[in-house]
Structure 1
């Protein structure tokens, strides 16, 4: 029954996000907002709507560990699993703007979350800071879009087309109905998903945080999975990378910003294990994007395989730690003493041997 509730909630989240994006996009286009701006804001943020719904819903239910674990786990999942799988399908092209602007912003947001959480709590004021930064970042993207090339504008116009004359959703009532139905599906879906996740945690004897970092994080990232893998298959490989980086930034600024604001005076308590390990993993994953992206401005298949392998290792560590398994110490020793240093040395060698590729304009 819990599995059915979880899957039902997940389906409602995915459907709700798609319906909400469709209605909001059509409404924005009806008011004369350009497809480029719609793509940079409504559509980009729409893929993170499940994370927002689940995190805010978890806070309102008093399950703050799920709220924070969902965001941290989603960011780790997005880079290691989604980019890993996508790169195995086809090497992913990395746009120079991602390297110069979006990835540093993602890293900055990760550092800010770490700094705000060092006192063990994400307060109402901290949530306000994150949300204001999200609004500022969105405004910056809109202003920047005015300087975009005609090719970029044509790409968004091709992907996001105004409703054709006579289409059922070109009228205001239909667009408002889509938005309302999407929001309702997100609310109910998040409620079902959080409740099923809590039941999973109790049945498996693990904490809400572990469930949030793994099952919930993977579940709410399904829109990003679908978008990035589909883009990789179609050859739109820059979209696959941009979708992940943009979603990670929004998860921190938007999901945790709103979660902090609705938490009131109590704020969001951050578990010691989260501060001691998982947030550092999220930051390390964000930092790892720079050298990987710079080497040839692509994510090669072998790099995708490394990403995927590290995600499997991360989940394995969480499971072993939750059960206090005897193999935990040996596993940690192998990862820290052999696998991680070998990966770092390999990346350094690749960067040194391919200096020209990283300087391509």
Structure 2
């Protein structure tokens, strides 16, 4: 069992390093091409922090463990809101000012509902995966157009500029970072999945349970690190935008690409898991759309809700 835990730890190191390299390389290339820091922060950074989920889900599908591929995304989306935003709000209450986040949130609810609807039939087919990928393209186009039109406050723009700083290194170095990041993600995904499947077998539990808990938390650590740093600095829009954007990419890009590569059966992922993911997303509606704020009390509630879900999984498993 220690060997499998070691594989997972090694996998996490590669996944984290690969995601960081991808953020730095792709972000700098996007900035050099003329894309604003605000748009880079809302798209490139959010996608790059979701790259560990993509690596793990693709590896899960490759080895035929479909519920690990799906459970990784469902569990990560739950952890991003319950654990990541909950901890951030406990550290420092978050006042959300970016108007684009309030426009994005209803779409996150819709995309989560779409995932629940597809998996209600027990699988995500290739056509469903294509629907997700088309949705990703529409979301990116719409988000970029809205970001260009919206007149955000100076504070919001400064926040995103700090999250996507431009480096004057050569373009070749940026492409090298992207390549190194992709290699690290592939290696990390293999090690993480190999360790996760082995750990599930040695403990006598389903891969779905490991995916919803250990693997989901592990792949959410880049979001946790990014959002905590933002929360400490008082950059609430980055902390929330990172989570909302990451949850979008997890469903549309990660499951979309994975299902096109290999149709996914729901396996051990239950409707309770899917409804829990949807409910956590819906909790953000009154907090962000109505109050524009996630306080310590709400943060405490999110963390308690996440711990309660983990306790239910442990009992059910």
Aligned to 2:144: 142
Aligned to 1:268: 264
Helix, strand or coil for the counterpart of 2:165? Answer: coil
Q: What is the rounded CA distance, in whole Å, between the counterparts of 1:276 and 1:156 in structure 2? A: 36
Unmatched 5+ stretches in structure 2: none
In the TM superposition, what is the alpha-carbon distance from 1:70 to its structure 2 partner? 0.3
Q: What is the rounded CA distance, in whole Å, between the counterparts of 2:14 and 2:192 in structure 1? A: 9
Cα shift readout 1:280-311 (whole Å, capped 9, x = no counterpart): 11111111221233563211211111111111
Given that 1:6 and 1:196 are in contact with CA atoms closer than 8 Å, whether structure 2 keeps it comes out as yes
Given that 1:44 and 1:247 are in contact with CA atoms closer than 8 Å, whether structure 2 keeps it comes out as yes
Q: What is the rounded CA distance, in whole Å, between the counterparts of 1:3 and 1:261 in structure 2? A: 30
Q: What is the rounded CA distance, in whole Å, between the counterparts of 1:228 and 1:159 in structure 2? A: 10
Aligned to 1:348: none
Given that 2:43 and 2:245 are in contact with CA atoms closer than 8 Å, whether structure 1 keeps it comes out as no
Cα shift readout 1:47-101 (whole Å, capped 9, x = no counterpart): 1110111111111111111100000000111111111111111111133636642
Aligned to 1:179: 178
Query: Measured at CA, do residues 275 and 93 of structure 1 come closer, stay the same or move farther in structure 2, by a change above 3 Å?
Result: same
Aligned-pair RMSD on alpha carbons?
A: 1.7
Query: Measured at CA, do residues 239 and 159 of structure 1 come closer, stay the same or move farther in structure 2, by a change above 3 Å?
Result: closer
Cα shift readout 1:3-27 (whole Å, capped 9, x = no counterpart): 2211110011011011111111222
Query: Measured at CA, do residues 253 and 54 of structure 1 come closer, stay the same or move farther in structure 2, by a change above 3 Å?
Result: same
Helix, strand or coil for the counterpart of 2:269? Answer: helix
Aligned to 1:313: 308
Q: What is the rounded CA distance, in whole Å, between the counterparts of 1:276 and 1:157 in structure 2? A: 40
In the TM superposition, what is the alpha-carbon distance from 1:202 to its structure 2 partner? 0.6
Q: Tell whether 2:156 aligns with 1:161.
A: no
Query: Measured at CA, do residues 291 and 52 of structure 1 come closer, stay the same or move farther in structure 2, by a change above 3 Å?
Result: same
Unmatched 5+ stretches in structure 1: 165-169, 323-361
TM-score, normalised via structure 1 length: 0.82
Name the structure, 1 or 2, with higher relative contact order (CA <8 Å, separation 6+).
2
Correspondence for 1:28 among 27, 30, 34:
30
Greater Rg by CA:
1
Q: What is the rounded CA distance, in whole Å, between the counterparts of 1:31 and 1:262 in structure 2? A: 31
Aligned positions of 1:256-335 closer than 5 A: 256-263=255-262, 267-271=263-267, 274-294=269-289, 296-322=291-317
In the TM superposition, what is the alpha-carbon distance from 1:134 to its structure 2 partner? 0.6
TM-score, normalised via structure 2 length: 0.93
Q: What is the rounded CA distance, in whole Å, between the counterparts of 2:184 and 2:116 in structure 1? A: 32
